[in-house]
């Protein structure tokens, strides 16, 4: 959700946000932050999830109006010819460099499937497509996507000798250090059909006192400047040109 808030802030600043839904990459599954292979979803389930997620994403990008794009990477990933993809894209990736990435290195201890090993190539190809079709030069995501996004910037540089940039945000964790992900117990969803407005409200009313500032500082509507602790979240990893960060 934090990257979506970042897109919302950029939209308010006049930029052209592009949200990419993973209808294609969901067929593979991202190994980042996982200790085992993700459950393989059916094509029908992936499509249904995509249809449910899109209107939620568009709510975040409402300020951009027609400038905002919501795309599905299945549009360009599904039609790929595997042999051509290996020749044109795969040859630019070093296996040694990929294995040095934390997501792959940790999984090697318990086993990493070949299908998951392809994930970084697919996300890097996403960035290449966005650059070619829409002139996209900045990709944002959670900290666990740092390696995948950098793979995309490197691919664009190799094929087009162009500079593109990466920006990631710390993953939201509880005071105990547990990741507040969608697969975690007691996860909170934006959809009222899964998490009712009452339950959504109660979740934040009952949040651990140590998590209050962290939760409020990550909300786009919380703009208090009374305390440094209540200022919007700052990115930890950032590779950007020397420009002023847009504010609302």
pLDDT in tens, 65-76: 888 999 999 999
pLDDT above 90: percentage of residues in the chain: 38
* DSSP state, residue 101: S
Residues 16-27, mean pLDDT to the nearest whole number: 93
Q: Where in the chain is the domain with CATH 3.40.50.620?
A: 2-171+234-239
Q: Which fold has domain 2-171+234-239?
A: Rossmann fold (3.40.50)
pLDDT at 33: 58
pLDDT at 77: 96
Residues 231-247, mean pLDDT to the nearest whole number: 40
pLDDT tens digit sequence for 176-207 = 666 665 555 567 787 888 888 898 888 878 87
Query: What pTM value is reported for the model?
Result: 0.79
CB 179 within 8 A of CB 33: yes
Residues 213-239, mean pLDDT to the nearest whole number: 50
Distances (CA, A) of 235 to 171, 181, 203, 208, 232: 10, 18, 25, 23, 10
pLDDT tens digit sequence for 217-228 = 556 555 544 444
Residues 215-244, mean pLDDT to the nearest whole number: 47
pLDDT at 6: 87
């Amino acid at each position: 959700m934090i990257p979506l808030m970042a897109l919302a802030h950029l939209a308010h600043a006049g930029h052209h946000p592009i949200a990419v839904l993973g209808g294609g990459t969901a067929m593979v599954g991202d190994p980042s932050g996982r200790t085992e292979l993700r459950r393989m979803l059916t094509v029908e389930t992936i499509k249904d999830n995509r249809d449910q997620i899109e209107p939620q994403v568009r709510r975040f990008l409402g300020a951009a109006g027609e400038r905002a794009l919501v795309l599905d990477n299945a549009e360009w990933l599904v039609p790929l010819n595997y042999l051509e993809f290996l020749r044109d894209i795969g040859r630019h990736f070093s296996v040694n460099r990929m294995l040095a990435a934390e997501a792959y290195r940790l999984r090697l201890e318990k086993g990493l499937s070949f299908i998951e090993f392809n994930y970084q190539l697919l996300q890097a190809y996403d960035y290449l497509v966005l650059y070619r079709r829409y002139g996209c030069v900045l990709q944002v995501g959670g900290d666990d996507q740092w390696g995948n996004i950098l793979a995309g910037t490197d691919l664009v540089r190799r094929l087009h000798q162009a500079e593109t940039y990466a920006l990631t945000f710390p993953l939201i964790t509880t005071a105990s250090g547990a990741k507040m992900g969608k697969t975690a117990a007691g996860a909170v969803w934006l959809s009222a059909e899964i998490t009712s407005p009452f339950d959504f409200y109660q979740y934040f009313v009952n949040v651990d006192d140590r998590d209050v500032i962290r939760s409020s500082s990550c909300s786009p509507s919380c703009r208090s400047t009374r305390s440094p602790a209540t200022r919007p979240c700052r990115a930890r990893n950032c590779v950007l040109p020397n420009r002023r960060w847009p504010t609302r």
